[in-house]
Amino acid sequence: SAVISQKPSRDICQRGTSLTIQCQVDSQVTMMFWYRQQPGQSLTLIATANQGSEATYESGFVIDKFPISRPNLTFSTLTVSNMSPEDSSIYLCSVVGQVNTEAFFGQGTRLTVV
């Protein structure tokens, strides 16, 4: 299994500002992803964080709004830019283990935009 530390665990932010979420894994992993969970909804994939290259975004998500960095195989950041109340969600990072295809998640960042 993989142990994932995600920070911050929660934050309340003013509209128009940006928040950067960090995800640290205790071992090197090839695949790392960022998800959004809007209130009362299921998880939606935002992007795949690629080490050493630009992230791969899903339909409906763009780099200007959700820039992602992945400088190495154990760390990634997701920035939520120019926030509006509609960005209030739980954001989760996920990795796939090296042994099989099991996915593991960080504890999530609960973001409220006021």
Partner 1 sequence: GIQVEQSPPDLILQEGANSTLRCNFSDSVNNLQWFHQNPWGQLINLFYIPSGTKQNGRLSATTVATERYSLLYISSSQTTDSGVYFCAAIYSGAGSYQLTFGKGTKLSVIP
Tokens representing 63 are: 């780099």
Choose between 75 and 105: whose C-beta lies nearer to partner 1.
105
The site for partner 1, by CB under 8 A, has a size of 21
- 3-state class of 91 per DSSP? strand
Residues 71-90 that bind partner 1 (CB under 8 A): 90
In the set 16, 18, 102, 112, which binds partner 1 (CB under 8 A)?
A: 102
Report if residue 13 touches partner 1, rule: CB under 8 A: no
3-state secondary structure of 1: coil
Q: Quote the CA–CA distance of 75 and 83 in Å, as a whole number.
A: 23
As a residue count, the chain comes to 114
Among 78, 94, 112, 113, binds partner 1 (CB under 8 A): 94
Tell me the per-residue interface mask from 23 to 62 with partner 1, x by CB under 8 A, - otherwise. --------x-x---x---xxx-x-----------------
Identity of residue 91: Y
Return all residues near 19 (Cβ < 8 A) that are at least 6 apart. Answer: 11, 13, 79, 80, 83, 111
| Contact footprint for partner 1 (CB under 8 A) | 1, 31, 33, 37, 41-43, 45, 90, 92, 94, 96, 100-105, 107-108, 110
